[in-house]
Structure 1
């Protein structure tokens, strides 16, 4: 075990990256974790000479590794390549920063969201900004940084940007406690466009706001798979106890889409209770799917963690309204100035969605 955890020398990693005659060795991927400034200085010129195919393959492998190993951190690599000439590389570098808490990334992400020529880069940057809005609500980054993120996300939602980017921006705003956000979520929910409805449900799930219980439950019966998936996920994130029967149906019927089924399993673990535990254990005994078994085991573990937290509901976090710092008060006032005159009072998402005309209306 000690040998497996020994730090890999970057000189070995660099040599392997230069060796274009062979695939990059998987055992050296961990060598990109927690790089020192001197390593980054050596890495950048090598990266510039690396083929696009090799860059993409490497970043995809690093992303896959982060999902399996919580001890690795590729933030420094991602920051070094975030402005790569190829948009696929830029997207992958943003995704590698999904767990980063470095608030210095916010202005970089805002610029990418607003200015990048590639729609995929803009939408991925908008998604990652939600992580920093969330950190801001937890007071883990400064209000100034959080407010900058929220302001720009609001601007994007109300702009004539392509729908994909605006949807990701609205989902990110789901974490925000700004008073204008619920109206935007409701406008998206009332849209006749299925993708906007699914987007609204995602934002509702992130809001920790019980005003959305009824809206989420209504869409658990949707015939649209995207809407049903987001409703199932939101039911768990909001810990809606009255959604249990719907979720039990989703996990009991084998003809349900596998992603919806897995979302329902996880949501059950978030809501909790004796009945949920019995159902998850029954499913675990009867399942012959390796993926589902792994997911059920994780869900049961999550259920145990939730039940041992003495009834604390972490989703019911209510941000403090009082800010002591005078400068921070000014920033909050600036954000409040985005009133109905800026378009919040009468948002018509359908009229802005000419590029979504091919979407089918939901079957009621």
Structure 2
């Protein structure tokens, strides 16, 4: 079904836009930029609530079905006049790799009038920061991203909720300056006011995301915080900065009064990984708390997958490895006693001889034209 057919079906068969069946909405998956522009013009005649409902449903569809993709529609939504639609569009692009996202999100973080949209943009930039940390975006863009997040965190006129999300995004990068920002956020959250408490939660989250063992002592201390949200973040963070020796701390959280803290601790155990973590997770399968049991099952799948990734190559016995490493098989031991004449008769060359057909016969300056030579151009942007 093309876009004209889709729009006709809506007009002819559906009285209320919000009642569009999901089966019909799925026809919008992977439409191109031109069709998305036409759809945006059509939606301009809907009232704001109807457009919000459509974007909310598209967002829920991609969360439920990874085969669904509405990037072109969400990119149009980034420019929508309604702040809820803009925020939903950022969320809908959460798994997108569209090259324009960094530019869009930076602009929205810096200039959008809506705090909710700026928060959404900061969260979107957090995922892009992870890609940057993994060297999956150009170095120049990584520098620009760090600069923008730093500017946002240091902006005293920005709201605390936006600043703390910028800190979370920034924490993926390493270095003394980043660690100083995390410490500033943590100290800033020492007050009892609600917004300061949230900054503290984000600082603890940032410690885990930063993956530096230097934060371990603080994170362990925060496991006993009076604030359940801080205990939750501390549990996850300990899974990222801790080792097997910290598993007992996470096990103690199985008695926490907050079930989300308990399940966070289960996830953290899987992050630490290893044989002891697996044994611990299997014991938790007997928990009387269904949510803990379900979290333990999911975490065991995660740990098993991590362990299997270490053995992706074909499994081999010791004998097979030794056989492949030996130039002669045991039953061919008599070959060791053949003289050079016999070997040459069978097609072997003595160590002093070479196959001249393998020599480079061109001029030295022709080396760069050898099709087997890897050049900077072959390596793509950034060279080697």
TM-score bracket for this pair, using the shorter chain length: 0.7 to 0.9
Q: Paired residue for 1:102?
A: 98
Give CA deviations for 1:199-239 in whole Å, capped at 9, x if unaligned: 11111111122222222122111111121111111112335
> In structure 1, how many angstroms separate the alpha carbons of the residues matched to 2:25 and 2:282?
37
The yes-or-no answer on 1:14 pairing with 2:7 is yes
> In structure 1, how many angstroms separate the alpha carbons of the residues matched to 2:281 and 2:74?
38
Structure 1 counterpart of 2:63, from 64, 67, 88: 67
Q: Paired residue for 1:210?
A: 213
Cα 1:279/1:57, change in 2 over 3 Å? farther
Q: Do 1:153 and 1:173's aligned partners in 2 also have CA atoms closer than 8 Å? A: yes
Q: How far 1:311 moved relative to its partner?
A: 9.7
Q: Secondary structure at the match of 1:139?
A: coil
Cα 1:101/1:270, change in 2 over 3 Å? same
Give CA deviations for 1:13-52 in whole Å, capped at 9, x if unaligned: 4345554525020223332322223321331112222222
> In structure 2, how many angstroms separate the alpha carbons of the residues matched to 1:17 and 1:172?
40
Q: Paired residue for 1:244?
A: 247
Q: Do 1:241 and 1:271's aligned partners in 2 also have CA atoms closer than 8 Å? A: yes
Q: Which runs of 5+ in 1 are unaligned?
A: 1-7, 313-326, 329-364
> In structure 1, how many angstroms separate the alpha carbons of the residues matched to 2:271 and 2:10?
43
> In structure 2, how many angstroms separate the alpha carbons of the residues matched to 1:86 and 1:108?
16
Q: Paired residue for 1:296?
A: 296
Q: Which runs of 5+ in 2 are unaligned?
A: 191-195, 313-380
> In structure 1, how many angstroms separate the alpha carbons of the residues matched to 2:175 and 2:51?
39
Q: Secondary structure at the match of 1:98?
A: coil
Q: Paired residue for 1:305?
A: 305
Cα 1:92/1:293, change in 2 over 3 Å? farther
Q: Paired residue for 2:276?
A: 275
Q: Paired residue for 2:144?
A: 148
The yes-or-no answer on 1:125 pairing with 2:121 is yes
Q: Do 1:110 and 1:152's aligned partners in 2 also have CA atoms closer than 8 Å? A: yes
CA RMSD of aligned residues (A): 2.6
Give CA deviations for 1:88-145 in whole Å, capped at 9, x if unaligned: 1111110111112223211211111111111111111112112112211211111111
Larger radius of gyration: 2
Q: How far 1:187 moved relative to its partner?
A: 1.5
Q: Do 1:103 and 1:141's aligned partners in 2 also have CA atoms closer than 8 Å? A: no
Q: How far 1:285 moved relative to its partner?
A: 4.3
Give CA deviations for 1:57-88 in whole Å, capped at 9, x if unaligned: 22222222222222222222110111211111
Cα 1:292/1:45, change in 2 over 3 Å? farther
The yes-or-no answer on 1:177 pairing with 2:180 is no
What aligned pairs does 1:37-52 form with structure 2 within 5 A after superposition? 37-52=33-48
Q: How far 1:287 moved relative to its partner?
A: 5.1
Number of residue pairs matched? 305
> In structure 1, how many angstroms separate the alpha carbons of the residues matched to 2:200 and 2:113?
27
> In structure 2, how many angstroms separate the alpha carbons of the residues matched to 1:120 and 1:90?
9
> In structure 2, how many angstroms separate the alpha carbons of the residues matched to 1:12 and 1:264?
50
The yes-or-no answer on 1:198 pairing with 2:201 is yes
TM-score by length of 1: 0.76
Q: Paired residue for 1:260?
A: 261
Cα 1:271/1:89, change in 2 over 3 Å? same
Q: Do 1:103 and 1:132's aligned partners in 2 also have CA atoms closer than 8 Å? A: no
Q: Do 1:17 and 1:46's aligned partners in 2 also have CA atoms closer than 8 Å? A: no
Q: Do 2:153 and 2:163's aligned partners in 1 also have CA atoms closer than 8 Å? A: yes
The yes-or-no answer on 1:166 pairing with 2:163 is yes
